Amino acid sequence: MIKYIIKILIIIFISIFFDLIFTFFFFSKFNFYETIYPKLDHRIANINYHHSFRENVSTFDYWGKYKYRFITNSLGFKDKSNKEITKLTKSKKRIIIIGDSFTEGIGYEYDNTFVGLLDNDKITQNIEILNAGVASQSPIIYFKKIKYLIEEKKIKFDDLIVFLDISDIPDEYYYNIDFDSSYKKNFNLRDYLQEFFIKNSSIYLFLDLIFSKINQQKEKYILKYNASKEFKIDFFKTTNQKINLYKSLNVERGMWNHDIKSWNFHGFKGRKLADLYLNKLFTLCKENNIKFTLAIYPWPVHIFYEHDPSFHRDYWIDWAKNKNIKIIDFFEYFLKENPEELIEKYFINGDIHWNEEGHNFIYKILVKEYF
């Protein structure tokens, strides 16, 4: 029995040894790991405001099936080129737009996002547009970032437009619990070993891909079942269109303004914190003679079900009105047509983010409402 176990261990050891050698001399030359698990090292920690983009990068970014060119300027803002952003603008006006992944324009190159479209439009009028949006940022980071730009970088600008997202509210709650200013991940032995073997073992990489595909199929059937229940249709007649619709409607971070359990858990506290930091940001802008504008917009779930607006939409409209702040309410533009057709038209399939046509729609509304 002991000899049998020793033989098995020797076979395993030899297999691992040759696997590592084979991977090193063959797989690594073709860079399979980075093809399957691409680097996102342009998304970095920031000691001043949690996380940001690396300055002056020209690389590729990924969002689901989308791969697209990603460029930043000297401030680490998503842009069309690695241009130098001076303290004082030569344009007659400089406008900064800040927000999370919607404002960043995740999934699309700069020129195809609403900020990029606005930039290309207004540059002919000698107006400079800068995109300070980064995925998963929220009011506490908006405040810290703008404060840093004004006080440390000495960047002068005239207007600030804040795109407040639904997910900013739970983000505020979680940042308040553990706001790690360095944004560094804690060492996790399991994650480290998994990354090591995926990079260095072709067998492990192959098995990881197989199990990943199996898990994707399992999740697809679960989603199909849930979609059939939600829309009350036969499981076998549930189309990919309905599955994508279900996915876009059921995103946990957007549930706080229609699900009482989520509201009690992080919605109430998160909105209170968002209020606090937007107040701080508004005061900072006022002290520096910067025009402050707030923009709010719906997710697919709010278009489809038209939930009680008092948790979010009405709250921020009143907030802006009480401070005599201009507010751009995109909700009204998304609540006029067939909800399902509207979601399919303006949002990435199975996602909460705008597609290319959605960005164009937002751009046109912004021109109309703001300029």
Pairwise CA distance, residues 111 & 334, whole Å:
23
The confidence score (pLDDT) of residue 187 equals 52
Which of residues 356 and 6 earns the better pLDDT score?
356
The confidence score (pLDDT) of residue 9 equals 58
The confidence score (pLDDT) of residue 181 equals 46
Same domain, 60 and 169: yes
Which of residues 328 and 8 earns the better pLDDT score?
328
Domain-embedded: residue 242: no
CB 70 within 8 A of CB 60: yes
Domain region containing 147: 43-186+248-370
Q: What angle do CA 227, 232, 234 make, to 5 degrees?
A: 80
When pLDDT is cut at 50, 70 and 90, the band that residue 6 belongs to is low
Instruction: State the CATH number of the domain containing residue 255.
Output: 3.40.50.1110
Beta bridge partners of 333: none
Amino acid at 1: M
Query: Cβ contacts of residue 262 below 8 Å, gap of 6+?
Result: 170, 252, 255, 256
The confidence score (pLDDT) of residue 182 equals 47
Same domain, 198 and 179: no
Residues 208-233: what's their mean pLDDT? 83
Residue 314's φ and ψ, nearest 5 degrees, are: -65, -35
Same domain, 311 and 352: yes
Beta bridge partners of 96: 130, 160
Say if residue 264's pLDDT is above 70: yes
* Number of domains the chain is built from: 2
Dihedral angle sign, alpha carbons of residues 207, 208, 213, 219 = positive
Residues 132-158: what's their mean pLDDT? 97
CB 352 within 8 A of CB 346: no
Average pLDDT value over all residues in the chain: 87
CB 366 within 8 A of CB 263: no
Q: 52 is written with which tokens? A: 């940001």
Domain-embedded: residue 234: no
Domain-embedded: residue 55: yes
Which of residues 339 and 27 earns the better pLDDT score?
339
Closest CA to 244 of 232, 227, 229: 227
Beta bridge partners of 62: 67
Q: What angle do CA 353, 354, 356 make, to 5 degrees?
A: 140
Say if residue 95's pLDDT is above 90: yes
Same domain, 223 and 342: no
The confidence score (pLDDT) of residue 3 equals 63
Domain-embedded: residue 174: yes
Say if residue 296's pLDDT is above 70: yes
Residues 134-149: what's their mean pLDDT? 97
Lowest mean pLDDT among 231-235, 273-277, 357-361: 231-235
Say if residue 319's pLDDT is above 80: yes
Domain-embedded: residue 339: yes
Same domain, 300 and 206: no
Same domain, 154 and 175: yes
Domain-embedded: residue 51: yes
- 238 class by beta-carbon count within 10 Å (0-12 exposed, 13-18 middle, 19+ buried): buried
The confidence score (pLDDT) of residue 15 equals 58
Q: CB count, 10 Å around CB of 249?
A: 22
Residues 33-50: what's their mean pLDDT? 78
Pairwise CA distance, residues 189 & 333, whole Å:
49
CB 104 within 8 A of CB 134: yes
Domain-embedded: residue 170: yes
Lowest mean pLDDT among 28-42, 57-71, 106-120, 248-262: 28-42
Say if residue 32's pLDDT is above 60: no
Same domain, 170 and 311: yes
Same domain, 281 and 346: yes
Same domain, 158 and 209: no
Pairwise CA distance, residues 190 & 116, whole Å:
41
Same domain, 156 and 281: yes
Same domain, 150 and 224: no
Closest CA to 47 of 145, 132, 116: 145
Beta bridge partners of 131: 78, 97
Domain-embedded: residue 311: yes
When pLDDT is cut at 50, 70 and 90, the band that residue 38 belongs to is low
Residue 178's φ and ψ, nearest 5 degrees, are: -150, 80
Say if residue 184's pLDDT is above 60: no
Beta bridge partners of 130: 96
Residues 294-307: what's their mean pLDDT? 93
Same domain, 198 and 305: no
CB 361 within 8 A of CB 113: no
When pLDDT is cut at 50, 70 and 90, the band that residue 195 belongs to is low
